[in-house]
Amino acid sequence: MKRLRRFLHTPEAIAGAFILALLLVMALTAPLFFPGDPQAIAGPALLPPFQDWSLPLGTDRLGRDVLAELFHGARTSLAVGLAAAAAALLIGAVVGTLAGFAGGLVDEALMRITDAFQTVPSFLLALAFVSIIGPSLGVVVAAIALSAWTGPARVARAEVLSIRERDCVAGARVIGMHPLEIAFREVLPNALPPVLALSSVIVAAAILTEAALSFLGLGDPNRVTWGGMIAEGRAVLRTAPLLSIVPGVALMLTVLGVYLAGEGVVESTAVRRSLS
Amino acid sequence: MSVLAVTNLTKRYHRGGKPFAAVDEVSFDVGPAETLALAGPSGSGKSTIARLVLRLIEPDAGRIDFEGANFLALSGAALRARRARLQMVFQDPLAAFNPRATVARVLDDPLRIHGIAPRSERPHRIAALLERVGLDTGLAARAIHEISGGQRQRVAIARAIATRPSLIVLDEAVSALDVSVRGQILELLLDLQRQERIAYLFISHDLGVIRAVADRVVILDAGRIAESGDARAVIADPQSAVGKALVAAMPKLIRNRP
Ligand SMILES: Nc1ncnc2c1ncn2[C@@H]1O[C@H](COP(=O)(O)OP(=O)(O)OP(=O)(O)O)[C@@H](O)[C@H]1O
Ligand SMILES: [Mg+2]
């Protein structure tokens, strides 16, 4: 409770938390409010918003319910963003820990691989990955994770380099603990805080990358995505601009919310650390 | 036969681009159930020797024989298994344990790693270890940072004796404790030595403590052995300049006590 109050001590954090909560409610209630296929035809095509209260935001070019699409799109964005960020953080933490803890050749090899991934623009990497393997939710998650793990890997490695000199690692070696157990049980948990501080940026970037992939038609075709909605709306941009603007604003607010809430968390932990 | 025999051990580091020997051709041995003290001013190489003996760092030259076998020849799983017999107690037990660990986990690790007791039996073993070092068994559930410095050093000793070692290296193990606690811990160490026949490589800059616990002493100066011999004899009549300086820094009361 105290932690929550400290987290909510800035207006930015409150705004971020509010947006995220709204998004979460949308994602969780989508199948409740809009059961059935959001991609099914619900009414006449290109019905403007606020005309028919059974279709509050109107319909798109094919007569699909825009509000239903928005809710189901929140589900996809959030799921892909969180899953990809979690995967990226996990891969990064493991690679960084192994490199930093093993040192020598292992470190060299892993860091050259990290360099290689980092020199390729991350969006191109995700794009190439999806176009080769084919668009499905799992592949999109993997592609985004693959393009985002290098940052966490570097941060984890730097942290591990300082932790491995501590007496507790020497103590673990003295009792004969296996190096892998030392790396993952003694070192990694202590190296996590600065790595986790990256998560808001990574989640935000993952949501944007997913939207961009969908915009280019490389999202999972069986899912509604905000990126896909923007792309759809492009064809009727002059006559029905709201079809692109609504998902665009939703996307922007989401990224903003994730970022603000992330900053709030980082700040509140910083306060906690300086207090203790 | 000695438990530990160190021959011409050398470790070089670089300082300002130039190599210098932190440990320079050092030789000594420790007999069974004997306490050999390493003394010397700050930077004389005491901790480096401890780390070399424990294979936490590798020497540039020299030989380490432990329990009659070449200790430097071991690696991987064989080395980890052998570590059961050679333990260490650090100066700051708070730094030497995972800060997130509980007392029970700290003591469980060596028992599990060396297969000393099956999982179901380990809680009893942990309780027995705590009792052996004079701690309440209720302490097992506490986090490491929730107990006092003296209790923590007792836990460190319990962890060191968990695998029934023949040698324990103690690097300034009592230096951070206040005087009354220090006396109790030294008592405990001597008691353990008598009962379990453990040898100690006892590192300290405090000749008063060394005089109280050590059989023999090696005085180091800038990585080299300045002098060595029976602890009381050396402290009563040091021959080397460093030895004289260290003795001069002792409180008179302790120095002249019979
Ligand atoms: N990793 C290292 N790299 C470079 N020099 C080192 C390293 N470790 C130790 N040294 C140097 O080796 C010398 C011996 O250090 P050591 O820690 O063994 O001294 P010590 O006798 O334990 O001193 P103290 O009583 O202060 O603990 C010192 O000059 C130290 O600066
Ligand atoms: Mg030292």
Tokens of A273: 């650390």
- The secondary structure of B14-36 as a DSSP string is EETTEEEEEEEEEEEEE-TT-EE
Ordered per-residue pLDDT tens for chain B, 258 residues: 899 999 999 999 998 889 999 999 999 999 999 999 999 999 999 999 999 999 999 999 999 999 999 999 999 999 999 999 999 999 988 888 987 799 999 999 999 999 999 999 999 999 999 999 999 999 999 999 899 999 999 999 999 999 999 999 999 999 888 888 999 999 999 999 999 999 999 999 889 999 999 999 999 999 999 999 999 999 999 999 999 999 988 876 555 555
CA distance B253 to B227: 23
CA distance A213 to A229: 12
Amino acid at B256: N
CA distance B234 to B171: 21
Domains by residue range for chain A, with CATH: 77-259 (1.10.3720.10)
* CA angle in degrees (0–180, nearest 5) for A200-A205-A207: 95
Tokens of A223: 């899912």
Q: CA of A158, closest CA in chain B: separation in Å?
A: 19
Q: CA of B255, closest CA in chain A: separation in Å?
A: 33
A23, A78 Cβ separation under 8 angstroms: yes
The one-character DSSP state at B85 is: G
ipTM: 0.91
Q: Which of A68, A60, A66 is nearest to A44 (CA)?
A: A60
- pTM here? 0.85
C-beta atoms of A175 and B97 within 8 A = no
Beta-carbon contacts below 8 Å between A and B: 56
Q: What is the largest CA-CA distance in chain B?
A: 56
Name the closest residue on chain A to residue B92, using Cα atoms.
A167
Cα A276–chain centre separation:
31
By Cβ distance, the residue of B80, B159, B163 closest to A178 is B80
Distances (CA, A) of B33 to A39, A144, B3, B168, B230: 80, 61, 9, 10, 15
Helix spans in A103-166 (H)? 104-119, 122-133, 137-146, 150-163
- The strands making up B199-203's β-sheet, listed across from edge to edge, are B86-89, B167-171, B199-203, B35-39, B216-221, B224-230
Q: Which residues of chain B approach chain A closer than 8 Å at the C-beta?
A: 51, 54, 56, 80-81, 83-84, 87-88, 90, 92, 95-100, 109-110, 113-114, 159, 163
Residue holding tokens 């011999």? B229
C-beta atoms of B81 and A189 within 8 A = no
The one-character DSSP state at B143 is: B
CA distance B89 to B102: 17
C-beta atoms of B97 and A171 within 8 A = yes
CA distance A239 to A193: 49
Tokens of A135: 């668009």
